[in-house]
Structure 1
C-alpha cells in the first residue's frame, strides 16, 4: 500500500506490485541464494560444476523426461547455443519436464534456469527433504529463476523439475544449472528397474469439517506419492504428508497411498479411515450472514480523507489499514496518522466504539503493499499474537485481517492465530485478503493458513485485481475484469475446503483503487447472483450454488467515497439481500 499521495503514473491502489512478486507466498519460505550460476551446455553432460546433464538441450531431450509428450526442443528462441526447451501445458497437464540427479546428504545446492514465455516453475524434490521451488508469471524476454535448498540426512538423489501452469501459454527454458557436491557417479541416475515399495505407516492427523491431514513413512526409491480417497486418486505429492480438502462435513472417508517412480506405481497401502468434523459456523459472532467488508485508510493517498465515524453505513466489517511492524520480528503496533485530523487517540477509540454500537465490526489489518511483517518461527509467532491482542485490548478492535503480500509461513501464522483465538474466543473477527495467485491451489502458504485456521476463520476476501488472467476451478484461464473471472476463481476456494460462509469477493471500489482489475458494481452483483442463485452467470456456470457465500470486500471505503459511494450504494444492498 502506498501510504502517501502518489505522483501521476504510479499505481494508487493497495496492491501495486505485480503477481510475479507473489512467488514467496506461492513457494513458501524459500532460501533464495544470491549467486550467479553459469549454465553452458557441453557435449557429454553439464558444464564444469553443473550436475545437470544436457543443461542447454543441445542433445534434444536426452537426460530429460516430459509429461505427456508436452516437451520439445526448439532453435528459436534460445538463450545460448542452438537449442532450448519449449513445453506446452494443457488444461490437464502442466508440462512437467524433469531430470533425476545424484546428490549428497546434508549439503547445500543451488538450482537455476533461464526461462521466458508463460508461467514457469523450477524446483527440486527428493526423499527426506522439503520440496522447494520458485516461479515467474511470464516474461517476453529471458529471465533467470534460481533457488537454493539443502538435502536431507538420507537424500542421495533429487528430481529437478520445470513446469508451466494448466491451460497457460507455452514456456521456454535454457541453461539449467544445479551446483553443489555431486553424488556417487555424478549426473543423472539410471532409472529404477522396479516400482517402489508400498508405503507404510499411513496415519490420520488433524481433521476439519472439509479436510483430513495424512502422513506416511518414506519409501527410499519413491519419487512421488498418490493419495486415494474412497478409491479415487485425489492428491499427488513428493512429500510424505498431504492434506485432502474438498470433503463433506461429518462424513467418514477411507484413505490409501501409493508410491511411484519411473518404473511404475506400487500397490495401495492398507486403508485408514477418518470422519470430518461438523460444519463450522464461521468466526466472528457479530458478523451478519452476508457481509460487506471495506478497508479504511490510516493515511492519505489521494483518495478521500475521512474519519472512521464517516465510513458508509453499508459496511459490516471495517478493516483499519494498516498496523505497522516494529523492529522485533512478528511484533506490530498502530500509529494514528495526524493527517486524519483526530484530536487524540481517545477520539479514534470512541469512533471505533460508536461503529460497534451500530453493529459493525472494526478490525486491525496487517500488511498491505509495504507492511512486511515477518512471522517465521515460534518466537515471532508469539510476538505477533501478543502484540495483536494488545492492540485489540487498547483500541477495542474486534479482530485482525491478514493482508501480508511479501510471503507468509503458514505453520507459524497458524500458531499465532490459534493463540489469538484462544485468548479472544469465538467472537474474534478474523479475515484474510490474499492475492489471486495465493489461492490457486491448497499447497500455497495462504491456502494452508486458511485451511489450518478454518474452524474460526470469518472470511477470505481474495483480491481479484492486479493479477492478469488466472485459472479457474475448471482448469480454464479467464481474463480479469469479467464475471467469469470472479466466479471461476471463487469456485477454487469453495470446492477446496473452505465453507461458503468463509468466501468473499474482493474488488477495487473505483478504477483508481488498483492498478488493474476494476469491475463495475453491476459485475460484482452478477457474480454474487451466479454463485448464490445460479443466475446472471457468464460462460462459466458453477455445478452447484453457494447460498451461504459471505459477501464482498472492497479496497477501499476511501476510494468508494472518492467516487461518490457508487460501489457501496449498489453492492451493499445486494449483499444484504442475498439468500
Structure 2
C-alpha cells in the first residue's frame, strides 16, 4: 500500500520525505557542546526524588510517581486539564554572560521544555507523544545581569499526561548569590525589540525588560525621540509609506546601556496597512511542488486558474546564514527547464496571478537570528525575485523563527521590492494560539506589509479556540474558532486565510471536504452555516483560503480549487 504522504515533503538523500511536523512550537534545537570541568547541574531536585520540592505546578497538575522513572526512584507526572497545560517550573540560579545546556527526559503526551528570563533569547523545545523515555535538549546564554532563570515543562490542552525526569541546567555554578551590594551598574542593552503595529503615522514597539533598568530611551534613525518607564512605546508623527529604523536603550542611575539591535518599521499608506498590490480582495493560495512525491507533476502553466497566488515550494538554504537560493528540479519535473519556468511565471502574471517563492517547509532550516543573517535573507530573496520574476515571498518556517530579525529582514525586503510585494505566511496551528508566540509576533510586526496568513489547519490534533474551548481538527468549528484567534488578535480580516489540504493524501490529518471549508467561510463572513461555535461578529473582508498543494489538487481532478475557489471568489 502506498504510504500516506504528509505535509510538504523535502528532498533527502533517499528522495522526498513525507513526515509532517505535528503542532510544532517555533524553535531551533542547538546541539549540546562539551562542558568544562567546572560545570554543574544547577537544577535542584532534578530527579524528583524529594517529591515536588523546589518545583511549582499550575492548578495542582503535578505529582510524583515511582513508575515510570528514567533514573532513581521517582519522576514527575503532570496532567493537563481544561484550560491548564500542566506547567511545572523551578527558579534556577545562574551566572551572567554564561552558556547553559538544558535537558530533560520525557515520556507520555505532548511535552515541552523551556526557559524564560535568560536576559537574551528564551528557548524551548518539544516532542509529540513519546511512548518511551526521550531526551529533550536545547541551550541558552544568560544576559549581562541575569542571575536566575525559570525552567519549565508543560503539556498541551486536551492531551494526555506527561512524565519528566532528570532535568539538567548544565553550566557554570550559579551558587547561592549574596555578597555586598555594589549599587546600580549600567544596564545591559535591551533584547527582543520588535514592531508590534503601525499606522500611516505611527509605529508601536515592544522589547524585553532589562534587570536593573529604571527607564528606556527610544531612538529613531539614530536620534532619541522618546523616553518611557515600561517596555513598550508608540512613536508618532511619522510619514505614510515610509521605513524607519528604531533602537532602544535601558537607563538607570548609573547611566545608559548600549543601543539594542535595530528593527525597521514601514508605516502604512494613507489607505491602510497590508501589502500585496493587486491581489484580489478574496484570494485562493496554492503551493506548487518543485519535486515529485507522488502527486501530479505540474508546470506552473498547469496550475488551475482558480489560484490567485501560487507559492513555489521551496527555496533552499545556502552555506551563508540567512541566505536562500532556488534550484528548479528539472529532472524530477520531467525536463521542465528554467526558461520554461520563467516564461510560465510571466504568463500567469499576465493573467492577473501572483507567483511567489516559499521559504521553509517541513524540513527547511533557514535561520535568521541576527542583523547579518536578516540582511542576507532580504538580499537573497530579492535576488530570486529579480532572477525569476517572483512577486514576493511566503514564510513557511516550521523549525524556528526569530520575530525580531525575521521582521527586520522582511521590512528590508519590502524596502527593496516596494508596496506591491506579496508577503504570505503559513504557520502551523500551534504557532498562532497566542499573540506571544514568535510566529504571531512576526505577523503583527509586519502587518503593514503583510498580504495574508494562511494558517495550516491540519496535522494539528486538538487546539484551543478563541472561546477557550478545545476543538479537534477536521471540523468546521476547528476552522472558525481558531481563525477567530487571529481575527481578534490584531490581524486584519483581509490578512487571514484558511489553509487546508487538497486531499486526504496531502496531509496526515485534518482534511475536510471542500464543503466544510465553504461552510467555515460562510460562518466567518456571513454568520451562516456555522457549527457549535459562532463568532461574535462577522468578517466580510476575510481574504480567502489556501491549500497544500496544487499538485495534490490536480491529482484529485482539481475538486478542491473548483469548489473552494468558486466560493472564495463569490464572497462579497
* TM-score bin, normalised by smaller chain: 0.7 to 0.9
Q: What SS does the aligned partner of 2:409 have?
A: helix
| Alpha-carbon shift at residue 569 of structure 1 (Å) | 1.2
| Alpha-carbon shift at residue 453 of structure 1 (Å) | 0.9
Query: What is the distance in 1 between the residues matched to 2:89 and 2:420?
Result: 49
Q: C-alpha offsets along residues 57-96 of structure 1, whole Å, 9 cap, x if unaligned?
A: 2222222222332222233333333332222333343332
Change (3 A) 1:444 1:113: same
Change (3 A) 1:112 1:127: closer
Aligned to 2:138: 147
Aligned to 2:508: 515
- Residues 1:103 and 2:94 are matched in the alignment: yes
- Residues 1:536 and 2:529 are matched in the alignment: yes
Query: What is the distance in 2 between the residues matched to 1:35 and 1:242?
Result: 39
Aligned to 1:89: 80
Q: What SS does the aligned partner of 1:455 have?
A: coil
Q: How does 1:288-307 map to 2 (within 5 A)?
A: 288-307=280-299
Counterpart contact for 1:405–1:434, Cα < 8 Å: yes
Counterpart contact for 2:434–2:440, Cα < 8 Å: yes
Aligned to 1:69: 60
Aligned to 2:8: 14
| Alpha-carbon shift at residue 509 of structure 1 (Å) | 0.9
- Residues 1:284 and 2:276 are matched in the alignment: yes
Aligned to 1:551: 544
Q: How does 1:238-249 map to 2 (within 5 A)?
A: 241=231
Aligned to 1:423: 416
Q: What SS does the aligned partner of 1:323 have?
A: strand
| Alpha-carbon shift at residue 572 of structure 1 (Å) | 0.5
| Alpha-carbon shift at residue 505 of structure 1 (Å) | 0.9
Structure 2: segments with no counterpart, 5+ residues? 10-17, 179-189, 215-229, 235-266
Change (3 A) 1:533 1:58: same
Aligned to 1:228: none
Change (3 A) 1:50 1:332: closer
Change (3 A) 1:536 1:69: same
Q: What SS does the aligned partner of 2:103 have?
A: strand
Q: C-alpha offsets along residues 522-552 of structure 1, whole Å, 9 cap, x if unaligned?
A: 1111111111111222222222221111100
Query: What is the distance in 1 between the residues matched to 2:211 and 2:335?
Result: 63
TM-score (norm 2): 0.79
| Alpha-carbon shift at residue 577 of structure 1 (Å) | 1.2
Q: What SS does the aligned partner of 2:340 have?
A: helix
Change (3 A) 1:557 1:102: closer
Query: What is the distance in 2 between the residues matched to 1:220 and 1:355?
Result: 57
| Alpha-carbon shift at residue 316 of structure 1 (Å) | 0.8
Specify which of 364, 370, 376 is matched with residue 377 of structure 1.
370
Query: What is the distance in 2 between the residues matched to 1:182 and 1:313?
Result: 62
Change (3 A) 1:205 1:469: closer
Q: What SS does the aligned partner of 2:131 have?
A: strand
Counterpart contact for 1:55–1:177, Cα < 8 Å: yes
Query: What is the distance in 2 between the residues matched to 1:158 and 1:465?
Result: 35
Aligned to 2:226: none
Specify which of 564, 567, 570 is matched with residue 574 of structure 1.
567
Q: What SS does the aligned partner of 2:563 have?
A: helix
- Residues 1:337 and 2:329 are matched in the alignment: yes
Query: What is the distance in 1 between the residues matched to 2:174 and 2:328?
Result: 57
Q: How does 1:332-411 map to 2 (within 5 A)?
A: 332-339=324-331, 340=333, 344-411=337-404
Aligned to 2:32: 33
Aligned to 1:252: none
TM-score (norm 1): 0.78
Q: What SS does the aligned partner of 1:19 have?
A: coil
Counterpart contact for 2:157–2:462, Cα < 8 Å: no
| Alpha-carbon shift at residue 343 of structure 1 (Å) | 6.8
Q: What SS does the aligned partner of 2:41 have?
A: coil
Query: What is the distance in 1 between the residues matched to 2:121 and 2:317?
Result: 29
Aligned to 1:237: none
Specify which of 404, 407, 412 is matched with residue 405 of structure 2.
412
- Residues 1:114 and 2:113 are matched in the alignment: no
Query: What is the distance in 1 between the residues matched to 2:358 and 2:460?
Result: 21
Q: What SS does the aligned partner of 1:552 have?
A: strand
Query: What is the distance in 2 between the residues matched to 1:490 and 1:350?
Result: 36
Counterpart contact for 1:14–1:369, Cα < 8 Å: yes
Q: How does 1:435-446 map to 2 (within 5 A)?
A: 435-446=428-439
Change (3 A) 1:313 1:483: same
Change (3 A) 1:293 1:479: same
| Alpha-carbon shift at residue 309 of structure 1 (Å) | 1.9
Q: C-alpha offsets along residues 401-454 of structure 1, whole Å, 9 cap, x if unaligned?
A: 122233222222222211221122111111111222222222332222211111
Q: C-alpha offsets along residues 126-151 of structure 1, whole Å, 9 cap, x if unaligned?
A: 36444332222332332222222222
Aligned to 1:51: 42
Specify which of 435, 442, 454 is matched with residue 449 of structure 1.
442
Aligned length: 498
Counterpart contact for 2:20–2:508, Cα < 8 Å: no
Q: What SS does the aligned partner of 2:554 have?
A: helix
Aligned to 1:432: 425
**94-103 or 310-319: bigger deviation:** 94-103
Aligned to 1:258: none
Specify which of 300, 307, 319 is matched with residue 308 of structure 1.
300
CA RMSD of aligned residues (A): 3.2
Q: How does 1:461-480 map to 2 (within 5 A)?
A: 461-480=454-473
Query: What is the distance in 2 between the residues matched to 1:390 and 1:53?
Result: 51
Change (3 A) 1:372 1:50: closer
Query: What is the distance in 1 between the residues matched to 2:128 and 2:569?
Result: 37
Change (3 A) 1:214 1:409: closer
- Residues 1:497 and 2:490 are matched in the alignment: yes
Query: What is the distance in 1 between the residues matched to 2:128 and 2:363?
Result: 21
| Alpha-carbon shift at residue 563 of structure 1 (Å) | 0.5
